[in-house]
Amino acid sequence: MFINLMSGELGSSDEELIYGASAHSDYGMTTLLITDGVPGLQACVCREKSREPRVWEDVPHVNGCFIVNIGDMMERWTNCLFRSTLHRVMPTGQERYSMAFFLDPNPDCIVQCLDSCCSESWPPRFPAIRSWDYLAERFRLTYG
């Protein structure tokens, strides 16, 4: 199985779907993304990322605007008040260019639930962790 990255065409004898980028959320705090207007980026419209079936919507291109994704680290900080954005890229048969800027805290920053995002009835869901330790663990689990 292969995919031509220039055309987005699938080369396969079966009907398995190949993505330009499979469903994922960004690990860090916030991602700013600018695209060239070629479609393909989709976001999952759901509060629970593990819920099936997932409903996907195309992310519209607006000239002069950034797409802003909340990352997994921001989800931790806000105790799931703000959820990270599950997204994917679908091949369209056209070249597609985008540029991402990943905004993350300093490596020694402690990521812990903000006081305004927890209470006695809504306790913190995640333990405190250094920013770098969190990102390093996510990369280790993803890439070995």
Mean pLDDT of all residues in 70-92: 93
Domain 2-104 adopts which CATH fold? Answer: Jelly Rolls (2.60.120)
The vertex-118 CA angle with 113 and 121, nearest 5°, equals: 145
Of all residues in the chain, the percent with pLDDT exceeding 70 is 85
Secondary structure percentages of the chain, helix, strand, coil, to 5: 15, 25, 60
The Cα diameter of the chain in Å comes to 56
Range among 6-10, 61-65, 119-123 rated most confident: 119-123
pLDDT digits (tens, 9 = 90+) for 126-144: 999 999 999 999 999 988 8
- Single-letter amino acid, residue 42: Q
Residue 112's pLDDT is 97
Question: What band does 18 get if pLDDT is binned at 50, 70 and 90?
Answer: low
- Single-letter amino acid, residue 39: P
Domain spans, the chain: 2-104
Mean pLDDT of all residues in 40-45: 88
